[in-house]
Structure 1
Amino acid sequence: MASFVLYSILSTVFLYFVFIISRKRRRLPLPPGPKPWPIIGNLPHMSPVPHQGLAAMAKVYGPLMHLRLGFVDVVVAASASMAAQFLKVHDSNFSSRPPNAGAKYVAYNYQDLVFAPYGPRWRLLRKISSVHLFSGKALDDFRHIREEEIRVLVRALASAKTKVNLGQLLNVCTVNALGQVMMGKRVFGDGSGGADPEADEFKSMVVELMQLAGVFNIGDFIPALEWLDLQGVQAKMKKLHNRFDRFLSGILEEHKTKARQSNGQVKHKDLLSTLISLENADGAEGGKLSDTEIKALLLNMFTAGTDTSSSTVEWAMAELIRHPNIMAQVRKELDSVVGRDRLVSDLDLPNLTYFQAVIKETFRLHPSTPLSLPRMASDSCDINGYHIPKDATLLVNVWAISRDPNEWNNPLEFRPERFLPGGERPNADVRGNDFEVIPFGAGRRICAGMSLGLHMVQLLTATLAHAFDWELADGLMPEKLDMEEAYGLTLQRAAPLMVHPRPRLSKHAY
């Protein structure tokens, strides 16, 4: 009897404390934010360029905001300290993606690496990509491919007789470099980018994908309206998926056919051959790969792995053209380290201190993904005295953080010196360790292709700055260059960079 009474007392005390804690937890407020409308919530408050609109909101409501988009709780982190709370302290709780139309209708129903739910399959895909494509050994093994594709681009620019769309040529170069690594062949012709309808078609597909992925789709936030497709987004996504699937299926079948015809006598060293071999072998964590998963991985590589790099280089070159004094310092360093008798190589990059600061400043001012890919809270949690509900969508405003006047002096000014000794961030790391500048994200879902992206951006930008003098098309003065941003998931220029390249090295260097 005594033990029963003691048990009852202990149970009552335990339940009382559970009740008090749960009440206290419920009493914690949601982060501040604009008052939502009935049903549609804060969707009317969203700006046509979301990262800019959310940055403006953060100035009113603070660096941690809560929005109600339809029936979905959305929290937005807009400062380095807030980003660190979500992507470092609470990273494990925010490692999955929320449901969205793009992953469902374009990315093979969440079977890709970018949108796959956090778990064994995602870890398998991540491991395959990390080991075979993005490891230090893989980057070294394929260094000659990157350098050769950039040399092809340089020759095309050196022979150009009229103005060129630099962004288009950069996209062809990055796609072909990745194509050589992925499947041992160029995707687009000879790589020159001249009158190539396939290259133009692919670029348009990637741009459309980034635009659609950046849309705040009503069906994602009010599920009962998904079937109506009020914005026409889902229909466009399905059509775009069919175009991508034809492109990727053709690549996959061509590779399999060649493998069958060789009867195993030809040993491919590209990633696609490795992926195909994993269709018949058990993976380390989660089983075999399917054709669909392979195509979904290819989709990630040929979209996120190319457009982000080419657009970042385009921004870097635009800034260098706008700032002749910075371009002069970059060239002085390049001429000192590389000379004028050859092109820049991967091995030169660690010796280019000022140039590395230019790249960091480009990533700061023009992050390729200004609004992070959404994450989802697996469980409710408390951050900085606010309650974050379970299943809430997290957005990290990378663009706002990198322009935060509390973190950066004169944040809108392009000033590479801030990353040099004596500057405000001399040791800043863009690889997700310093939350003031996180162009690739941070934590478990940091960009898988970060290392390759860094190498491509650095080598392409250094080569273009070193090998050519640049004039803007149509007599445009550098200070008049349009630096407006286009709408989309990635940070595209609103107006393409149209230029005249003028060779400045010894003729044999080209």
Structure 2
Amino acid sequence: MATSPYGDHWRNLRRIGALEIFSTNRLNMFLGIRKDEVKHLLWKLSRNSCQGFAKVELKSMFSELTFNIIMRMVAGKRYYGEDLKDEEEARKIQEVSEGDSSVWRCVESSRVCAGVEVLLLAGTDTSAVTLEWAMANLLNHPDELQKARVEMDHQIGQEKLMDEPDVSKLHYLQSVISETLRLYPAAPLLVPHMASDDCTIEGYDIPRDTMLLVNAWAIHRDPKLWDDATSFKPERFENGESDAHKLMHFGLGRRACPGAGLAQRTVSLTLGSLIQCFEWERVTKEEVDMTEGIGVTMPKVVPLEAMCKARPIMHKVLSESLHDV
């Protein structure tokens, strides 16, 4: 869908995505899957952190979370974790997430193959990368982390685990996510666009049918558009700097990411639950390394590690739902 030229095939893919996969009704149907996988993550983090701070490696946990959500949506099974029913099948599917395209030779329809592969790779890596960057930012900015925790305790409390409908009340959490996507967009280059007619962009004459790449990373850090552009300041989105034409982490127009709704729900529920259920600190006094990697998505070069300690809500979650995890 991302690279298909405009035409009947692209319109059909877009329609299927909008109506059958990423519609509001369909996403609501899969809410239970997202909540269940977030509880799996919370349970894994809590195993060694109920009595005090424990070091955890978050990159792999976020990848497992997002991959299992997508696979349960499309196949009804988990393919990462400790309760796998078919380890051989899980191994083959894991190869897909690691880029081994030979697994797809058994799929006869190239269109089905391409569609599922894009859904897996684009729908898992982008959300996992965003979660890792968000946690890294909060670890490097403990005042902002504390502000998000205070909002969570005030709006949700420690008597129940947050739910997706609660996100609308968590304005600062939403600002943290928006600021993370501004500084560290999962896809720094948006999907290719094509000039529908001759035009001029920044003084350059662009002939019709020219392929154009939009550098969202550069736009999001442009000091002409953003005050203190390279600083992590979630408060900027509380002050009205949310112009969609400046913040374009999911793209714009007909080529915008069709899975934006799923990504927003997954990231919001996961990040909010981590803030509600655990206290977080850096592994050392030094700031987390924020060096950016190279790829279609923009990973951290150094996988994120952190210290976490379960908060009181986690004991309640474990006592009520451990048998379901």
Cross-structure match for 2:66? 174
Q: Which residue number in structure 2 is paired with residue 504 of structure 1?
A: 311
SS at match of 2:213: strand
| Distance in 1, Cα, partners of 2:27 & 2:40 | 19
Deviation (angstroms), 1:155: 0.5
Does the 8 Å contact 2:79/2:93 carry over to 1? no
- Corresponding residue of 1:242: 102
For residues 461 and 127 of structure 1, do their structure 2 counterparts lie closer, same or farther at Cα, with a shift above 3 Å needed?
same
2:288 equivalent in structure 1: 481
- SS of the counterpart of 1:480? coil
Q: Deviations over 1:279-337 (max 9, x none)?
A: xxxxxxxxxxx722122111011100010001101100111111111111101111112
Aligned length, in residue pairs: 311
Q: Which residue of 2 aligns with 1:448?
A: 258
> Which of the pair has more CA radius of gyration?
1
Letter in 2 for 1:156: K
1:166-222 CA-partner distances (Å, limit 9, x unpaired): 011111111111111112111224479xxx999898778646x5xxxxxxxxxxxxx
Unaligned runs of 5+ in 2: 319-325
C-alpha change, 1:324 and 1:382, in structure 2 (3 Å) is closer
- Whether the 8 Å contact between 1:165 and 1:498 is mirrored in structure 2 is yes
Change (3 A) 1:205 1:178: closer
Closer, same or farther in 2 for the Cα pair 1:374/1:351, shift >3 Å?
same
| 1:124 matched to 2:12 | yes
> Distance in 2 between the 1:377 and 1:481 partners?
41
Could you tell me the TM-score, scaled by structure 1's length? 0.57
- Amino acid aligned to 2:101: H
| Greater relative contact order structure (CA < 8 Å, 6+ sep) | 2
Q: Percent identity?
A: 37
CA contact (8 A) 2:79 2:94 kept: no
Q: Which residue of 1 aligns with 2:179?
A: 361
- SS in structure 2 opposite 1:470? strand
Superposed counterparts of 1:78-477, under 5 Å: 113-160=1-48, 163-190=55-82, 206=97, 240-243=100-103, 245=104, 249=106, 291-383=109-201, 386-420=204-238, 423-425=239-241, 428=242, 434-473=244-283, 476-477=284-285
The correspondence for 2:299, drawn from 486, 492, 507, is 492
Q: C-alpha distance in 2, partners of 1:158/1:485? A: 29
CA deviation profile, 1:241-268 (whole Å, cap 9, x unmatched): 214x15xx4xx7xxxxxxxxxxxxxxxx
The code of the aligned residue for 1:509 comes to V
Specify whether residues 139 and 501 from structure 1 end up closer, same or farther in structure 2 by C-alpha distance, changes over 3 A only.
same
SS in 1 for 2:280: strand
Instruction: Report Cα offsets for 1:230-251 as digits up to 9, x if no partner.
Output: xxxxxxxxxx4214x15xx4xx
Aligned-residue CA RMSD (Å): 2.4
Q: Which amino acid aligns with 1:464?
A: L
Q: What letter is aligned with 1:503? A: A
User: How many Å separate the matches in 2 of 1:189 and 1:295?
Assistant: 25
Question: What runs of 5+ residues in structure 1 fail to find an aligned partner?
Answer: 1-112, 210-239, 253-289
Quickly say closer, same or farther: Cα 1:201–1:363, change in 2 above 3 A: farther
Paired with 2:63 and 2:309, the residues of 1 have a C-alpha distance of 20
String of CA shifts for 1:341-389, please: whole Å, max 9, x gaps: 2221101100101111111111111111111222233553344654202
Counterparts in 2 of 1:482 and 1:154: CA distance versus 1, 3 Å:
same
